[in-house]
A and B are shown apart, each in its own frame.
Chain A
Amino acid sequence: MTTYAATTETGMPRRKSFWDIILSERYFKWTLIVPLLITLAAFMLYPTFYSLYYVFMRFVPLKEASVFVGLDNLRFVLHHPHFLGDMANTFAVLVGCLIVELVLGMLIALLFSREFRGQNLIRGLCLLPLLMSPLIMSMVWGYLLQFDYGFMNQILSKVLQLPKVVWWGPTMAKVSVILLTSWQWTPFTVFVLVAGLRSLPKDAFEAARVDGAGAWYTFRRLTLPMLSPLIVIIVMLRSMWLMRLFDPLYGTTRGGAGTESVDYLLYRTAFSYFDIGQACTIAIIALFLTLIFSFILYRQLMHALGVIK
């Protein structure tokens, strides 16, 4: 092992320089990690403490100086006409997307579970939605679902002879958001589940087949339990991302028609009304909810990576 105990030419030990210390066996691992730690501290701790501070302050920049108001912000946010509704919206879209993505994703994954000719091309095409800019795609979906001349309504009215749907109206807007979000993310579920299905042990299924188990029974009793760790990871990751719903709303309803999410409310409160006190209060609540999720997710991820048993 290399040691960096520096000696002068005469053999007399000299004082260790800064470089000797940070490159020494003992400290090298910390040297490597310091830039990351500084980044995390700057970008996470600072906003957290900033938000915690302004929870108790009334602060509207350029308008008034910040004043200590105790728990007024919290009281106001909890009675805010939109806050609880926006929580419910976020939750509804989250659950809707999870259901669509999991069911549809599972069906498609089962279809693609065996190796087949041309699978690289199919995989390449199916992954495209995942890599598209959510903002651009939401604007395109806004166009596809437009009432008068949008593609969907044209098909509905001209081909299927059905009445047109007001996609971006109060009743359907959430469904439209779910539609475009799950369009973009179903491939994710498909890819993860296909990876899982292809790595399942073959002999268990062989045994089930020999015993005369039906397809549905095999799926419910064998496939599903074996895939459950992956499903948990999908649910956790997707929940985490769906809680941050913003781009699809900005590209379509701009928070109107009963689609506003918590993050969108935060955006409006902080950057349209510049009510920093209230924004920070909402932020702290959002942060707290996220933290719960991240704790659960952490164990799953670490387990999957083999860090903890």
Chain B
Amino acid sequence: MKIRVTTVLFWIATVVIVLGFIFPILWIFLTAFKARADILSTEFSKLLIFSPTLDNFRYVFAWTLFPKELLNTFIITVGSTILVMLFSLPAAYSFARWNTGEGHLLFITISTRMFPGIVAAIPFFFAFKAAGLSDTHIGVILLQYYFNISFATFLMYGFFREISIELEQAAMVDGYGRMDILRRIIFPLIAPGAAIVAVFCLVFTWNEFLFSLLFTHHVARTLSVGLSLFWGSLEIQWGPMCAAGAMAVVPTLVAAWFMQRYIVRGLTFGAVKG
């Protein structure tokens, strides 16, 4: 009987923990369907018992640029991720295969991730204004690319290091050229890792706020900036905010499913393998 009791306790604790972690996320979805009066009600029962309405969603589509912001965010996210993969893959391969720069360059790469984004934003704010890149997709794509490149390179570096050099050397003995080795041996082996890194970049860019706030206004405005605008001068529009937020988090919820095995590795730059 003793085992049964601990099992029950374990599951009670687990349910409490999981509820604690997902409750605020559930709350977005719940609030999205609440009428304004129910949201602002101090009646306890209104927290969970209310008649659902689609008013908030109607408001979002009628009065905000939500569809456009969604499209912008999509373009920026995909565009910057493609750029990141294009440049981080070869660099990571070079680091892993030849130890290029004897670790110093790797250090400089990783320190980009610690470089305060806001510090970089100041000169680029003026440079982009002058170059006409402010409030354009290209401008934000470039910034998001910079934001993710070091992280992606470092994580890819970890994946490349798992491919043994002997494999390449054997191929060379068999008369494969450098390009053949890359195409036929390295690429198939690295593809799953590259996919994981890409998903990480997609999620990070999707959620990024600071650069979007400073560098997009009307034309290239992203979802997170649009969401911050529900904080009006008079009140915070919780209902529409949650409706837009609920729609905005759906892609990340999908991504979460793919990333769960690699989350530890991703967030520790590959230092800890989960």
Contacts and interface: CB of A to CB of B under 8 A. Distances in A.
B47 A154 contact: yes
B131 interface: no
Nearest to A45: B108
Interface residues on A, range: 35 or more
A89 to B, nearest CB: 16
Nearest to A250: B228
Q: Taking each of A44, A133, A194, A270, which has the highest tally of chain B beta carbons within 10 Å of its own beta carbon?
A: A133
Contacts of B117: 244
Given A40-B112, A139-B236, A128 B255 contact: no
A212 interface: no
Interface in A262-309: 263, 266-267, 270-271, 276, 279-280, 283, 286-287, 290-291, 293-294, 297-298, 300-302, 304-308
A36 interface: yes
A33 B105 contact: yes
Nearest to A265: B118
Nearest to B207: A133
Interface string A35-54: 11101101110111011000
A56 to B, nearest CB: 15
B91 A136 contact: no
B210 A246 contact: yes
A32 B224 CA distance: 34
A305 B96 CA distance: 11
Interface in B215-271: 223-224, 227-228, 230-231, 236, 238, 241-242, 245, 248-249, 252-253, 255-257, 259-260, 263-264, 267-271
B162 to A, nearest CB: 11
Interface residues on B, range: 35 or more
Nearest to B124: A47
Nearest to A183: B24
B41 interface: yes
Given A29-B98, A279-B122, A140 B260 contact: no
B57 interface: no
B81 interface: no
A131 B257 contact: no
A267 to B, nearest CB: 6
A302 B95 CA distance: 13
B53 interface: no
A149 B267 contact: no
A136 B94 contact: no
B109 A188 contact: no
B267 A237 contact: yes
A36 B27 contact: no
Interface in A214-245: 230, 233, 237, 240, 243-244
A43 B263 CA distance: 27
B114 A294 contact: yes
A143 B31 contact: yes
Interface stretch (B61-69, B145-153, B187-195): B145-153
Given A187-B21, A290-B114, A2 B177 contact: yes
A137 interface: yes
Nearest to B208: A133
B207 A134 contact: yes
Given A195-B273, A271-B125, A127 B114 contact: no
Given A128-B22, A135-B209, A283-B119, A158 B231 contact: no
A48 B240 CA distance: 40
Contact of A35 (B28, B90, B106): B90
9 contacts: A29-B94, A43-B115, A128-B25, A133-B207, A183-B20, A194-B274, A271-B125, A283-B122, A308-B103
Given A131-B253, A144-B27, A302-B107, 14 more contacts: A36-B91, A47-B123, A111-B17, A112-B14, A124-B257, A128-B25, A135-B224, A136-B248, A139-B228, A140-B242, A158-B44, A195-B273, A270-B118, A287-B119
Interface of B: 10, 13-14, 17-18, 20-22, 24-25, 27-28, 31, 39-42, 44, 47, 86-88, 90-91, 93-95, 97-98, 100-101, 103, 105-126, 145-146, 149-150, 153, 157-158, 161, 172, 177-178, 203, 206-207, 209-210, 213-214, 223-224, 227-228, 230-231, 236, 238, 241-242, 245, 248-249, 252-253, 255-257, 259-260, 263-264, 267-274
Question: Closest 3 interchain pairs by CB?
Answer: A304-B271, A32-B90, A36-B91
